[in-house]
Structure 1
Amino acid sequence: MSTTTTLDSLVLPCNQASSDKQVQAVNLSPFQVEKFTALFNFYDQNHDGFLALEEFVEHARRVAKAFGWDENDPRTHYLVDIRTALFWRLGAATEHNGDLVVSLSDYLCYFERQVYACESANGPSPSLKQACRAIMDLIDHDGSDCITYEEYRNLLVAIGSRASAWDAFCTMDADKDGRLTLHDVEQLAYQFIVSSDPQSPGNLLYYGRL
């Protein structure tokens, strides 16, 4: 597995131009700001309003623990590598207590880029599809190439969400077959990023119902 298969590896920092054009941030709706801020707060373990590198690493370890992987498991190392890379790709440029951290403003800027990428693709962007594939590879324990309720529940436990995993899973499982396919996850992730509708099922993907 390679960290280059994740969404965060294929985006540009705000105000940084690609080889052919400038990436323009789009305006986020109030609801998008609300849900992206909620996700930020799940990672902000000490509630100081900033994300330090240690918090990204700790998040990776919580996910690994929730899935029963010890610190020597290659999947744990992979998660730590992904989260470390994401910290820097988020544009950690704010100084707090002498350290570089990710501010909420940095974080929202990152999601502005994701909205732009998806809207340009008129659907899940290629990098979002790759990120969803990486998620499936990590948490699909039974090798079914689908996410089951139990696997999704473990994911919510890992990030510290107290939401009902069953309620969220049943809402996202549109065809009620008890599983989320890769296509399902791509569409849900796309909804989470671009939708300003509070009723969109994709809003539940990362932390359940707030």
Structure 2
Amino acid sequence: MTTELQRRKLEKVFASYDADGDGVIDGLDITAMAQIWCDTYGVAPYSPGWRRIHGAAARMWRGMRGSDGPDGEKRVTVAEWVAWADKPEFPEFVTNAAVPFSLAVFDVADADRDGRINHAEMFAAQSKSGMRSEDTQRIFDRLDTDRDGYLTSEEYGRAAHEFYLSADPDAPGNVIAGEL
């Protein structure tokens, strides 16, 4: 059974996937979301980073459960999205599609290509959503579980996994998409 915390997290990420804000995720929303990340980090069209983000987004879309809309195209409502979290295949989707998408974004956020991101690299994305530097720092500090001043891909991947699946209110990953 999905907890209240999990529901809030799922609704938050749903809103970020629903790029046009119409209350339904469709393939165009996922493509737009991928492009927003590419634009945020200055990823050139058709570059390896662009292909990685768009490819991971397409795999994520193919893996999402939804229903057919009036035009016969798949669509996902917030109710379907939240209900899906109770299904046995949801953790597999998270592991095989949602977390790899997050890690594709992590890779392009890593501007200096050292395999980790610092606060400034994280803030580059968070500021686009209106988050203040001090809020980003607080979130960054929660995710930086080894307290070395960097987020590794392992820390980031673990946090993304926690965001989607953990019911633990103290899990660092709860804040990966911002405060709830």
Q: Tell me whether 1:208 sits opposite 2:175 in the alignment.
A: no
1:84 aligns with 2:58: yes
Report the 3-state secondary structure (helix = DSSP H, G, I; strand = E; otherwise coil) of the residue aligned with 1:28: coil
- Equivalent residue pairs, number: 176
Cα deviation for residue 54 of structure 1 reads 1.1
Structure 1 portions without partners, runs of 5+: 1-26, 119-123
Partner of 2:126: 156
Query: CA separation in 1, counterparts of 2:139 and 2:47?
Result: 29
TM-score (norm 2): 0.78
1:172 aligned onto 2:146: no
Q: Which residue of 2 aligns with 1:50?
A: 24
Q: Which has the larger radius of gyration?
A: 1
2-side partners of 1:196 and 1:129: how far apart?
A: 17
**Cα distance per residue 1:90-127 (max 9 Å; x no partner):** 02423146643122234235544466459xxxxx96x4
The answer for the alignment partner of 1:33 in structure 2 is 7
How far apart, CA to CA, are the structure 2 residues paired with 1:180 and 1:156?
15
2:43 partner letter: W
Percent identity (aligned): 20
Q: Report SS of the residue matched to 1:102.
A: strand
- C-alpha separation between the residues in 2 aligned to 1:33 and 1:175? 28
Greater helix content: 2
CA positional deviation for 1:45: 2.8
Partners in 1 of 2:91 and 2:99 — Cα distance?
17
Equivalent residue for 1:181, pick from 122, 130, 152: 152
Q: What is the alpha-carbon distance in structure 2 between the residues aligned to residue 69 and residue 59 of structure 1? A: 13
Gaps of 5+ in 2: none
Query: RMSD over aligned Cα, in angstroms?
Result: 3.0
Report the alpha carbon displacement of residue 66 of structure 1 after superposing the two structures with TM. Answer: 0.9
Counterpart contact for 2:19–2:30, Cα < 8 Å: no
